[in-house]
Amino acid sequence: MGGMALTGALAAGTQVPPGERVIDVRDLRMRYGTKDVLHGVSFAARRGEVLALLGPNGAGKTTTIEILEGFRMRSSGEVTVLDTDPARAGEAWRARVGVVLQSWRDHGKWRVQELLDHLGAYYRRYSTDLKSRPWPVGDLLEVVGLSALASTRIARLSGGQRRRLDVAIGIVGRPDLLFLDEPTVGFDPEARREFHDLVHRLTDVDDTTILLTTHDLDEAEKLADRILILNDGRIIADGSADDLSRQVAGESEIRWTRDGQRFVHSAANPTPFVRELLLQHGDAVEDLEVRRNSLEDTYIRLVHDSEGRAR
Ligand SMILES: Nc1ncnc2c1ncn2[C@@H]1O[C@H](COP(=O)(O)OP(=O)(O)OP(=O)(O)O)[C@@H](O)[C@H]1O
């Protein structure tokens, strides 16, 4: 491993100065019965940052998020979210934290705008001079792309439309921190792109800090300022997609065609290879493509390497 590996409590959130930490997790441990599922997780997030938490099934992502949301008691470790321990936080804290839960199926008879008006009213008392709460429902519908469905009954929404409503419910109180657990599952490509735009708008306009989990690495790469990879209850990588890609000794893939034939070659440093290729074959080289490690390649390598070390 190179010097980039930031694992364990020593490197906890080294990039984020203490005063700016919206999330600060140190040596978090969780045990269910006799089974340890988090083995000393440490990380931090700063205001306005989008963090993607990645990891294989069962890695401990949902457990981590539920602890940060205050829905689950940890076994040990220090957790501070918006300057408060979520295990002891009250209503005022909760009003500043947005959670996108999976579909509000129990409210099928409600109309979209009606439900948002109803839920939004709760947040009014938590308005501050800097932030009026809730979001005006008209603006909110606009932002999540549900304006045309404002008076539709929830039971009539498609799967993707419901997910957008879930997101609207999660942000109606204009949270300072938003948790998104696999937010775009079931979205069509257009809805997904609109959702990505929405996330960017939230961080631009409201400086909202966002922690999301996803299995969609393309989504993580598009949205996240920083990526955390959790494997078997441990953080095995923490950095931007570029940082992570540099962390694995990557090979680039060079593809081209010549005389109608496809060629593929891997090289750690593609420049001399491509220079030589063009010197030899000149204009006969067509459709030349050089592809660096994708986040998916990097992710698979990092998870695989960490499992190799654990064994
Ligand atoms: N209430 C519980 N009681 C006992 N074990 C649990 C409980 N909840 C989760 N686990 C176990 O803890 C481990 C981590 O689960 P968790 O749901 O946090 O993983 P995850 O990374 O969110 O997975 P996925 O990607 O599949 O959603 C798993 O081995 C799971 O079986």
User: Is residue 103's pLDDT more than 80?
Assistant: no
Q: Coil, strand or helix: which one is 293? A: coil
Pairing of strands 177-181, 97-100: parallel
Q: What is the pLDDT of residue 5?
A: 41
- Count CB atoms within 10 A of the CB of residue 10: 8
- Atom number of ligand 1 nearest to Cα 66: 18
- pLDDT band of residue 2 (cuts 50, 70, 90) is very low
Supply the residue whose CA is at minimum distance from atom 5 of ligand 1.
32
235, 43 contact by CB (below 8 A): yes
User: Which residue minimizes the CA distance to atom 10 of ligand 1?
Assistant: 32
Distance CA 74, CA 78 (A): 9
Matching residue, tokens 């919206």: 22
Helix, strand, coil % (nearest 5) of the chain? Answer: 40, 25, 30
Confidence band, pLDDT 50/70/90 cuts, at residue 15: low
- The pLDDT of residue 10 is above 50: no
- What interface predicted TM-score (ipTM) does this complex get? 0.96
Mutation probe of ligand 1 site: the residue of 32, 65, 231 with most atoms within 8 A of C-beta: 32
CA of 142 from ligand 1 middle (Å) equals 35
Atom of ligand 1 nearest to the CA of 233: 14
Q: What is the pLDDT of residue 249?
A: 67
Least confident of 96-110, 150-164, 288-302: 96-110
Atom in ligand 1 nearest the alpha carbon of residue 182: 27
Nearest CA, atom 28, ligand 1? 58
Contact yes or no for 77/43 (Cβ under 8 A):
no
Residue 191 banded pLDDT, cuts 50, 70, 90: confident
Atom of ligand 1 at shortest distance to CA of 65? 18
| Contact (CB, 8 A) for 64 and 71 | no
CA of 63 to the centre of ligand 1 (A): 6
Predicted pLDDT at 4: 40
Phi first, then psi, for residue 36 (nearest 5°) are -85, 125
11 to 4, 204, 244, 258: CA distances (angstroms): 10, 28, 15, 49
Instruction: Name every protein residue with a CB atom under 6 angstroms from any ligand 1 atom.
Output: 32, 37, 55, 57-63
Q: What percent of the chain has pLDDT over 70?
A: 92
| Residue-wise pLDDT tens digits, 21-41 | 999 999 999 999 999 999 999
**Cα-to-centroid distance, 232 and ligand 1 (Å):** 10
pLDDT tens digits for range 58-94? 999 999 999 999 999 999 999 999 999 999 999 999 9
Distance 60 CA to ligand 1 centre (A): 6
Q: Is the pLDDT of residue 17 over 60?
A: yes
Kindly report the pTM of this predicted structure.
0.84
Residue 217 identity: L
Model pLDDT for residues 153-166, shown as the tens digit of each residue: 999 998 888 888 98
Q: Considering only CA atoms, which residue is closest to atom 7 of ligand 1?
A: 32
Specify the pLDDT at position 110: 92
Which pLDDT band holds residue 255 (cuts at 50, 70, 90)? very high
Distance CA(38)–CA(31), nearest Å, equals 7
Whether 14 and 243 have beta carbons less than 8 Å apart is answered as no
Q: Compute the mean pLDDT over every residue in the chain, rounded to the nearest whole number.
A: 88
Q: Which two tokens stand for residue 55?
A: 């990891």
Given CATH 3.40.50.300, say whether it is the number of domain 9-245. Answer: yes
How far CA 211 is from CA of 60, 117, 259, 284, 299, in Å, comes to 14, 26, 49, 48, 18
Three-state DSSP class for residue 31: strand
Both tokens of residue 219? Answer: 């989504």
